[in-house]
Amino acid sequence: MDFKLSDEQRMLEETVGRLVRDGYPFDVREKARTSELGYSTEMWQQFAELGLLGVPFSEDFGGFNGGGPELMVVAEGFGRGLVLEPYLATVILSGTLIDFLGSDSQKETLISAIVGGEVRLALAAYEPEGRYDHTHVATTAEKSGDGYVINGSKAVVLHGDSADKLVVIARTAGSTNDRNGLSAFVVDASADGVSRRGYETIDGLHAAEISLNNAPAELLGEEGNAIDALEKSLALGIVALCAEASGAMEVACDHTLNYIKERQQFGVPIGKFQALQHRMVEMRMELEKARSMTILAACSLELSAPVRAKRLAAAKAIIGKSGRKVAEEAIQLHGGMGMMEETAVSHYAKRIVMIDHQLGDLGYHMQQLESLLDLDEDAA
Amino acid sequence: MDFKLSDEQRMLEETVGRLVRDGYPFDVREKARTSELGYSTEMWQQFAELGLLGVPFSEDFGGFNGGGPELMVVAEGFGRGLVLEPYLATVILSGTLIDFLGSDSQKETLISAIVGGEVRLALAAYEPEGRYDHTHVATTAEKSGDGYVINGSKAVVLHGDSADKLVVIARTAGSTNDRNGLSAFVVDASADGVSRRGYETIDGLHAAEISLNNAPAELLGEEGNAIDALEKSLALGIVALCAEASGAMEVACDHTLNYIKERQQFGVPIGKFQALQHRMVEMRMELEKARSMTILAACSLELSAPVRAKRLAAAKAIIGKSGRKVAEEAIQLHGGMGMMEETAVSHYAKRIVMIDHQLGDLGYHMQQLESLLDLDEDAA
Amino acid sequence: MDINYTPEELAFRDEVRAFLDEKLPKEIASKVKKNQHLGKEDTIRWQKILNEKGWMALHWPKEHGGTGWSPIQKHIFEEECAEYGAPTVLPFGVNMVAPVIIKFGTEEQKKTYLPSILNSDVWWCQGYSEPGAGSDLAGLKTKAVREGDHYVVNGQKTWTTLGQHADWIFCLVRTDPNAKKQEGISFLLIDMQTPGITVRPLITLDGEHEVNEVFFDDVKVPVENLVGEENKGWTCAKYLLTFERTGIAGVGQSKAALKHLKEVAGKVQQNGKPLIEDPLFRNRLADVEMELMALEMTNLRTVAAAQAGGVPGAESSFLKIMGTELRQEITDLFRRAAGPYAQPFLPETFEADYDGEMVGPDFANSVSTKYFNMRKLSIFGGSNEIQKNIIAKMILGL
Amino acid sequence: MDINYTPEELAFRDEVRAFLDEKLPKEIASKVKKNQHLGKEDTIRWQKILNEKGWMALHWPKEHGGTGWSPIQKHIFEEECAEYGAPTVLPFGVNMVAPVIIKFGTEEQKKTYLPSILNSDVWWCQGYSEPGAGSDLAGLKTKAVREGDHYVVNGQKTWTTLGQHADWIFCLVRTDPNAKKQEGISFLLIDMQTPGITVRPLITLDGEHEVNEVFFDDVKVPVENLVGEENKGWTCAKYLLTFERTGIAGVGQSKAALKHLKEVAGKVQQNGKPLIEDPLFRNRLADVEMELMALEMTNLRTVAAAQAGGVPGAESSFLKIMGTELRQEITDLFRRAAGPYAQPFLPETFEADYDGEMVGPDFANSVSTKYFNMRKLSIFGGSNEIQKNIIAKMILGL
């Protein structure tokens, strides 16, 4: 048992840390956020140059061959800077799914392009009526000529508005909630039959509602067998979200601590008031829990499916629960300043709370955990 | 709308208040608690002399004709003194059920004896497998000669160990969880066929497990139709428990407030520490909620069954939730002293928590409330 | 003891309901219920309707045009208004500065200011908080120096709600820099058109422009705009802050929100069933429902005590804390009900004239802005921490 | 980064398990699991078994007979002991006074006291808290006046756990009444048989006799019983209080309790179904489970940091707070599982030789005593409020 980062992991951490520190001050981030695209393509190119876009991929494609801990290190750093670029959408959710399912030539083409920063992707998995259930897929794909055509609607597709290509989950067999019969496809975002309604999200990211109307699509891997790979990619996504939340919670705690040390009322810093001290301690305790569960999640990806599922559900649930407390207390202890758009902490709070709405919220993951309550890890 | 007590109610409040203040100091109560009977028969006679045993009964039997608010006033005062005597068991649970169901002659005999302090009763309703469900009745009654014989087991019968007579709920028709087919009987506690295992409860009261083996019984009212009356009596019991809890919570708050004003650490009273001040404020807020819901419950007994049920469920649930907080915080803020049997507040804490285990706990009553969530009070 | 309304009180409630049925513009109520933007003109339109009926000034004495209502009547009125989706009456004029003028002002001031407040012809805002003086209000630094027949005001106020629309501002200013903290403060009325005043918008985390900073740079204010005595403004400030606020618990708002939440949760599907049938969601709804019942009864107890002639004091701090926490909790449940659709942020959909397509279920468009916006409830109007300090001191004697 | 045990660590765990399988008396483990009373003789019996194996002193250096284990090994050992239902080793001798003697004591003292502690021949208790000095430990008043070759001790200690069985007590006493608070305190070892010592039982709210008051009336203590320097006892006190406590999180205890709770909830019937299928009860179980996972990982991070040579400091305060709150929460769920049967109080059923009938389900007999007894966890050993103060000061710099 050893919680220390390896030398390579530490280097990765330093790379991301430096990038965020130097390249991502609040005003620069705000400029990118309020741009039409909602993030910076220059920054994306920097990610590529630093090798960050290759973290989870094989060295064959110029990648880093990283697993859970490596993605954790990257996402935690991104969380500290509230990074806006579509790393989760492109690299983690779409990229790894292509990596798990794609043919050698698909990988050769697409993964290399991802690693090189030449293409941005989005995973179109969830649907308007399906909430957080990734098996709720009513969208269908049918063979047509060499390829397929897809029909259906996809909901709140993270960075779906600016993606060059979409990885779409569609049904080639079975009915709406079946685990079997799901397939993954690559769809060109500019193709006929793809219509997108893009919008900003409350936490400053972008997403899109996507309608597919006989949209031409290229199958990834085998037909009907995408579920295991999809769940592996979503698991990576959950690790990344937990880590991002931990990073953001850390900064929210730091900002709040600094604020109560500096803000004077009644002639003393408000951090001298014991009631606020104890609440600050409780915030930090929530942060420690979030960090612990992020590590647990990051180190559980290679375990058996039920053990992995149980730990990830618990991790994401803790993030939802602890994140809410940290976000709300960060605002409250900042007083009126915490309500202001010009105060960085309000953006941290928004991102932390919205992470609970991505890839399953507290309620969803507690239900998963409840269904696995009797699982004995030692036996599994 | 008027929350003031009427003159009669205020007199009742004063009577109970004086009795508890003068006759129920902590050491006297401890002496009664540790006696074999677990309470004082002299005190019971005083109740009779002051007319307290007649509060809910008609003036014909020497009663006071009181309703919810009157019982609230009495029980709140009893809660302040942690009164040990079997008022709930005898007067409220058993007495009112006899009043609702009994024939004129049964009432003449039994109610008069209750009011005069000549007889103590216990309601044997719940069963070992039934938890808080009063419709779970496997105990059966069969006709035998002029009367009936009863077979079955009754669980945690409050003050069942010292009761002269038992009011037993038994089934004359239907199966275990049916609402119909329940009847109420009077059983002489010393009769053949009645065996009792008495014990103390953690909060210093007494109860008993009761086995009925062809125990001779006298029917109250009609056969098979006891459910409505039983639920009315249980509703009165819930009002009394809410009020008792409010009274006990009030004293727990007062003791805690006094303690933190007096207890010196680091050269100042610990009540000067803001973190403790805010927690004390939160305790008081819970007390206010408990009081409010007690009033609501006490004033809702005459309403339609579903409205009454909804309000009582909410009241008892709030008592369970707020009571736990007040009890735990009272101990915590007392520090080591709160853990001591010789400190009165520990007894208040125990009673408050155990009230949650009588006539349905937080979980039980929230389920009732959930089942009535869609009820529109204005329409009902 | 009777917690039910008397026949007279029920008759009054019917009268209020009839009025709201008839006079509350449907399009305004619809905006309120859909969490759409209310314009200044909507608020003024409604307030003028109220004034026509003589129901604008709940808390004024009858002689000045107030309703003369009892606490229970005020409570009934506010409950029903919330239930019907009437816009909140802006408190700054009618419920804040006006009572101060009535209590401490000259006859001349009463004549000058009260009628236009009653008829909503003048929009007031509040100049209390400063960047360095939030919870510690008496730490304010904005100063007013007497020069002949006017004061010269310099300094800055902040968190000035809806100051962007305001014609007048009432301000606490320091007139004696040498006096101890709470002494040396005066209460001034200032025309926002006076040269030297700048209003800078503050955008809140939900993207809204509700609050402002107001800067004073050599602003000349006639001495007759002083309310009460010079250097005794703290008396006015305290009077205003502790002024009876029957609506502080927000019971009506929470009831309306909970009702809406139940409707929504009955429609949203999860695993093929309405969300309201999800045991945990239902449990949290039940928890809110019972807490709301407790809040309502606690509020009624306070109202009834006021009716009986008691002066509501620090008890209103309990109501502030319980009420705001509950309203915030309901916004949390709304965002959970929206699921992934809590994320989209489309401010254009908050406008009543928006006729484009929505994203996700209709109710979802405002859940997150509302959730974040409502964080203010526990901060502004005396933060909940300050309320606890007040209770600790005034009620518990700590 | 690897959160799994290494092969060596797994082999060590197997060794521990084999030892527990073979040597832990079944009847003792059964008492622990059933929450029955453990007698002094049970504890001593187990501790002597541990000592035979050389596993009694986890935290001592090898040269004095300690295990010399790494933090991870200690953690594994404590986890397994909890899982198997081994009695808690009494900390007062081996984990409290002994490290102080090893660090500050003379060679003579080491020779005199350590062997009998290792072999559990002498039962120690703690004389720290006083009626007026709980959280404010340095406020203690018990004084020791040097007279020739002994000190004369007068005063009172309280919350002395299991002092009724103790042969010796280690005490903080004031030797210089004129010095500032934390100066002028000394660390004394006192034979409980010395004339002038009276032990008075304190009965806790669950009816148990665990703690005591100890009165000192002109008690003569030889000067060679002073550990460290006179008036420098605060150094010993602090060392003892911050001494590495790998077990402070109570993860093993919580795991064993949660496992038991799940079994129980699988058996108890409610509405014809096992309680564990009740959505709300199951939700609370899941909540405890995930909090326990978070606690365990946080604990492991601290253990690993210690393994890597870090000195665990105020982090253990986090573990104390999180761990005790969780253990208390589990006792709350146990009483809910028992339903109405949480009420009966039958102390005779806590004895292992009780062979009468139980009231209600077997597990129910101790749920309420345990629930109330466990309130002590957040009070004793430095109340959770004090832990928060420590974190605020040491980690947050407030």
Is A186:A110 a contact under the CB 8 Å cutoff?
yes
Q: How far apart are CA D364 and CA D263, in angstroms?
A: 13
Residue A48 backbone dihedrals phi, psi, to 5 degrees = -60, -45
Residues A289-332: tens digit of each pLDDT: 999 999 999 999 999 999 999 999 999 999 999 999 999 999 99
Taking the CA of residue A281 and the nearest CA in chain B, the distance in Å comes to: 12
Is B250:B185 a contact under the CB 8 Å cutoff?
no
Cβ contacts of B274 on chain A, cutoff 8 Å: 273-276
Mean pLDDT across the stretch C120-134?
A: 94
Is B105 exposed, middle or buried, given 0-12, 13-18 or 19+ CB atoms closer than 10 A?
exposed
Kindly list the catalytic residues of C.
244
CA distances from A380 to A308, A375, A376, C380, D288 (A): 10, 7, 6, 52, 21
* Residue A377: per-residue pLDDT: 75
Residues D74-106: tens digit of each pLDDT: 999 999 999 999 999 999 999 999 999 999 999
Does residue C294 register a pLDDT over 70? yes
Residues B305-363: tens digit of each pLDDT: 999 999 999 999 999 999 999 999 999 999 999 999 999 999 999 999 999 999 999 99
In 3D space, the residue among D367, D359, D307 whose CA is nearest the CA of residue D342 turns out to be D367
CA distances from B8 to B13, B15, B45 (A): 9, 11, 22
Mean pLDDT for chain C overall? 94
Spatial neighbors of D259 by CB under 8 A, at least 6 apart, are none
Is A288 exposed, middle or buried, given 0-12, 13-18 or 19+ CB atoms closer than 10 A?
buried
Q: How far apart are CA D287 and CA A366, in angstroms?
A: 8
A266 φψ region: left (φ > 0), alpha (ψ -120 to 50), beta (else): left
- All domains in chain A, ordered by first residue: 7-115 (1.10.540.10), 121-224 (2.40.110.10), 228-372 (1.20.140.10)
Beta strands in chain C (DSSP E): 124-127, 143-147, 150-157, 168-174, 185-191, 197-203, 209-222, 226-227, 269-270, 273-274, 344-345
Cβ count within 10 A of residue A15: 16
Mean pLDDT across the stretch D48-57?
A: 97
Residues D326-380: tens digit of each pLDDT: 999 999 999 999 999 999 999 999 998 999 999 999 999 999 999 999 999 999 9
* Residue D381: per-residue pLDDT: 87
Is there a contact between A199 and C359 if contact means CB atoms under 8 Å apart?
A: yes
Does residue C312 register a pLDDT over 70? no
Is A232:A252 a contact under the CB 8 Å cutoff?
no
ipTM: 0.96
User: Maximum CA pair distance of chain D?
Assistant: 76
Is C267:C229 a contact under the CB 8 Å cutoff?
no
How many residues does the structure list for chain D?
Answer: 398
* Residue C46: per-residue pLDDT: 98
For residue C117, what are its two tokens? 């407040």
Beta strands in D184-315 (DSSP E): 185-191, 197-203, 209-222, 226-227, 269-270, 273-274
Confidence of residue D156 (pLDDT cuts 50, 70, 90): very high
Which of D293, D391, D397 is closest, CB to CB, to A281? Answer: D391
E strand or H helix at C338: helix C315-338
Taking the CA of residue D282 and the nearest CA in chain C, the distance in Å comes to: 10
* Residue B326: per-residue pLDDT: 98
Q: Is C22 helix (H, G, I), strand (E, B) or coil?
A: helix
Nearest-Å Rg of the Cα atoms of chain C is 22
DSSP characters for A294-327? HHHHHTTTTS-HHHHHHHHHHHHHHHHHHHHHHH
Which regions in chain B score pLDDT beneath 50? none
Mean pLDDT across the stretch D115-126?
A: 97
Q: How many CA atoms lie within 13 A of B220 on its CB side?
A: 31
In 3D space, the residue among B12, B171, B167, B186 whose CA is nearest the CA of residue B86 turns out to be B167
**Chain A touched by C182 (CB under 8 Å):** no
Is there a contact between B278 and A275 if contact means CB atoms under 8 Å apart?
A: yes
Q: Select the residue from D290, D318, D322 to test the A interface by mutation, using most A Cβ atoms within 10 A.
A: D290
Is A96:A232 a contact under the CB 8 Å cutoff?
yes
* Residue D2: per-residue pLDDT: 87
Closest chain B residue to A276, measured at CA: B275
Cβ count within 10 A of residue B42: 9
Spatial neighbors of A215 by CB under 8 A, at least 6 apart, are A149, A150, A151, A168, A187, A191, A192, A193, A194
* Residue C245: per-residue pLDDT: 63
Which regions in chain A score pLDDT beneath 50? none
Cβ count within 10 A of residue D309: 7
* Residue A336: per-residue pLDDT: 95
Q: C42 has which bridge partners?
A: none
Closest chain D residue to C280, measured at CA: D280
**Chain B touched by A379 (CB under 8 Å):** no
Percent of chain B with pLDDT over 90: 97
Dihedral angle of Cα B148, B154, B156, B158, to the nearest 10 degrees: -10
B159 φψ region: left (φ > 0), alpha (ψ -120 to 50), beta (else): left
User: Maximum CA pair distance of chain C?
Assistant: 76
Alpha helices, H only, chain A? 7-23, 26-33, 41-49, 68-81, 87, 96-101, 104-115, 227-262, 274-298, 305-334, 344-355, 362-371
Dihedral angle of Cα C184, C185, C191, C196, to the nearest 10 degrees: 60
Measured CA angle at D313 (ends D310, D316), to 5 deg: 110
Is there a contact between B339 and D204 if contact means CB atoms under 8 Å apart?
A: yes
Is D194 exposed, middle or buried, given 0-12, 13-18 or 19+ CB atoms closer than 10 A?
middle
- The position carrying tokens 């009915």 is A175
Beta strands in D20-105 (DSSP E): none
Catalytic residue, candidates D9, D210, D230, D244? D244
**Chain C touched by B370 (CB under 8 Å):** yes
Is B119:B166 a contact under the CB 8 Å cutoff?
no
- All domains in chain C, ordered by first residue: 7-89 (no CATH), 123-231 (2.40.110.10), 246-394 (1.20.140.10)
Angle between helices B41-49 and B7-23 (to 10 degrees): 160
Q: Give the burial string for B48-64 (b: 16+ CB within 10 Å, else e).
A: beeebbbbbbeeebbbb
Is C50:C78 a contact under the CB 8 Å cutoff?
no
Q: Give the burial string for A269-279 (b: 16+ CB within 10 Å, else e).
A: bbbbbbbbbbb
In 3D space, the residue among B283, B252, B258, B254 whose CA is nearest the CA of residue B271 turns out to be B258
How many CB pairs below 8 Å do chains C and D form together? 9
Q: Select the residue from D213, D285, D343 to test the B interface by mutation, using most B Cβ atoms within 10 A.
A: D343
Measured CA angle at B319 (ends B239, D338), to 5 deg: 100
Spatial neighbors of C344 by CB under 8 A, at least 6 apart, are A156, A199, A200, A201, A202, A207, C359, C360, C364, C365
Is there a contact between A2 and D2 if contact means CB atoms under 8 Å apart?
A: yes
Closest chain C residue to D280, measured at CA: C280
In 3D space, the residue among A141, A273, A111 whose CA is nearest the CA of residue A214 turns out to be A141
Cβ count within 10 A of residue A5: 16
Is D98:D57 a contact under the CB 8 Å cutoff?
yes
Is B179 exposed, middle or buried, given 0-12, 13-18 or 19+ CB atoms closer than 10 A?
middle
Residues D267-318: tens digit of each pLDDT: 999 989 999 999 999 999 999 999 999 999 999 999 888 888 876 677 889 9
Sign of CA dihedral B69, B75, B80, B81: positive
Residues 229-288 of B with CB under 8 A from D: 264-266, 270, 275-276
Q: A248 has which bridge partners?
A: none
Measured CA angle at A206 (ends A203, A211), to 5 deg: 135
Angle between helices A68-81 and A274-298 (to 10 degrees): 150
Q: Is A1 helix (H, G, I), strand (E, B) or coil?
A: coil
Is D354 exposed, middle or buried, given 0-12, 13-18 or 19+ CB atoms closer than 10 A?
middle
Sort strands B268-269 and B206-220 into parallel, antiparallel or unpaired: unpaired
Q: C189 has which bridge partners?
A: C170
Taking the CA of residue C116 and the nearest CA in chain D, the distance in Å comes to: 51
In 3D space, the residue among D85, D88, D111 whose CA is nearest the CA of residue D98 turns out to be D111
In 3D space, the residue among C60, C53, C123, C121 whose CA is nearest the CA of residue C81 turns out to be C53
